[in-house]
């Protein structure tokens, strides 16, 4: 009987992990092919796309929370804000950061900087860990420090050769890294958190869209039905990957999430080079190779550390018994 129970539990755990992998991978695949979506709407200004993305994300999240009957979660979040007012400030900051990230990414895609945008999301995991060291007093081992040196070397080589600092890459990595840091502080349900983040920016987005329409410069409702649907769909393509990620990441170990996250920038890089003909020079190859080496070293080192901790835990428990 015990053997059957163990086999059943193992089967359930495997099914749980497999579902988590598919959900998480799905979120990164959607993020990776997002440039194709923004390219389809490139006749619209980046500012207008961002405003619609915020507004329709808000509408979509209202529908999601209603469908999931998660309004008690919203009420609970409001109660938490009353108890801890700093959560309001944290939500405002996270909203500003993710909006800045969205704008820079949309602008980069529609101004032929997809390759540079992909570099930003390759660097992002390293930036996130660096922020953890600075703000959360986390520690790095020797291999992880080496990965930072290699990544920095890649960025410096690119800067020296092209004569300009890769601002798009760094802004994308920093804004998303800082956004992740604020999410660690707020610890709200993902759908509830996204709803409040869009609430913060919706007034500004609506005012901008009204002024744009009043001046006769709005694309929505004036260009084509295709453009209208793309702008409305901006909310959906924003929220779905976030919801998939929220459902998948909690089902799998952190190191697995770390490995899967490289799907998105890889697909973005391929889209930039193969679909839209952006240049990928020898210097780009050197820069990306250093970043890839850094990420490989960092991921292997982090994975081994995680597995060692997981392996030691059962031993401690059995020794205690």
Give the contacts of 249 (CB within 8 A, at least 6 positions apart).
20, 24, 257
Q: Is 209 helix (H, G, I), strand (E, B) or coil?
A: helix
Residue 294 lies in a domain: yes
Q: What is the mean pLDDT of the chain?
A: 83
Average pLDDT over residues 33-46: 93
What pLDDT does residue 150 have?
A: 83
276 DSSP assignment: S
Q: What is the pLDDT of residue 320?
A: 39
Does 320 reside within a domain?
Answer: no
The answer to whether position 65 is within a domain reads: yes
Distance CA 193, CA 198 (A): 9
166-200 pLDDT, tens digit per residue, is 889 889 989 988 888 887 777 778 788 889 989 99
Backbone φ and ψ of 118, nearest 5°: -65, -35
Is residue 172 in a domain? Answer: yes
Establish if 163 belongs to a structural domain: yes
Residue 114 lies in a domain: yes
Helix residue ranges per DSSP H, the chain: 2-32, 34-40, 46-67, 71-83, 86-110, 114-136, 142-162, 167-186, 190-214, 225-249, 254-260, 263-270, 282-320
**Count of the separate structural domains present in the chain:** 1
pLDDT at site 61: 92
267 part of a folded domain: yes
Compute the Cα dihedral for 128, 130, 131, 135 and give only its sign. positive
Q: Which two tokens stand for residue 272?
A: 């930039």
Q: What are the phi and psi torsion angles at 211 (to 5°)?
A: -65, -35
Does 253 map to a domain? yes
> Quick one: pLDDT band at residue 164, thresholds 50, 70, 90?
confident
User: Domain range holding 248?
Assistant: 19-305
Largest alpha-carbon pair distance within the chain? Answer: 74
Residue 49 and residue 38 in contact, taking contact as beta carbons nearer than 8 Å: yes
Kindly report the CA angle at 26 between 121 and 250, in degrees rounded to 5? 85
Instruction: Report the sign of the C-alpha dihedral through residues 96, 100, 101, 102, in that order.
Output: positive
**pLDDT cut 90: percent of the chain above it:** 35
Three state DSSP letters for 290-304: HHHHHHHHHHHHHHH
Between 175 and 143, where is the model more confident?
175
Total-model pTM: 0.81
């Amino acid at each position: 009987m015990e053997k059957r129970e163990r086999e059943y539990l193992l089967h359930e755990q495997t099914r749980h992990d497999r579902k988590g992998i598919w959900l998480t991978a799905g979120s990164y695949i959607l993020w990776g092919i997002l440039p194709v979506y923004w390219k389809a709407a490139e006749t619209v200004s980046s500012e207008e796309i961002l405003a619609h993305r915020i507004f329709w994300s808000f509408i979509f999240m209202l529908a999601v929370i209603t469908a999931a009957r998660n309004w008690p979660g919203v009420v609970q979040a409001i109660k938490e804000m009353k108890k801890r007012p700093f959560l309001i400030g944290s939500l405002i900051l996270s909203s500003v950061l993710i909006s800045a990230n969205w704008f820079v990414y949309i602008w980069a895609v529609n101004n032929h900087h997809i390759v540079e945008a992909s570099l930003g999301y390759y660097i992002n995991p390293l930036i996130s860990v660096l922020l953890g060291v600075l703000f959360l007093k986390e520690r790095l081992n020797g291999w992880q420090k080496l990965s930072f040196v290699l990544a920095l070397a890649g960025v410096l080589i690119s800067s020296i050769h092209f004569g300009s600092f890769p601002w798009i890459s760094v802004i994308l990595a920093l804004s998303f890294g800082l956004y992740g840091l604020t999410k660690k502080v707020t610890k709200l349900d993902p759908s509830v958190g996204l709803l409040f983040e869009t609430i913060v920016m919706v007034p500004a987005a609506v005012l901008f869209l009204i002024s744009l329409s009043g001046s006769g410069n709005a694309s929505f409702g004036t260009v084509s039905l295709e453009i209208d649907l793309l702008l409305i769909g901006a909310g959906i393509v924003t929220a779905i990957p976030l919801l998939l990620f929220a459902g998948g990441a909690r089902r799998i170990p952190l190191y697995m999430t770390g490995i899967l996250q490289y799907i998105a920038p890889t697909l973005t890089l391929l889209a930039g080079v193969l679909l839209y003909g952006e240049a990928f020079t020898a210097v780009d190859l050197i820069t990306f190779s250093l970043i890839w080496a850094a990420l490989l070293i960092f991921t292997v080192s982090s994975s081994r550390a995680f597995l060692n901790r997981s392996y030691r835990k059962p031993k401690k428990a059995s020794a205690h018994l």
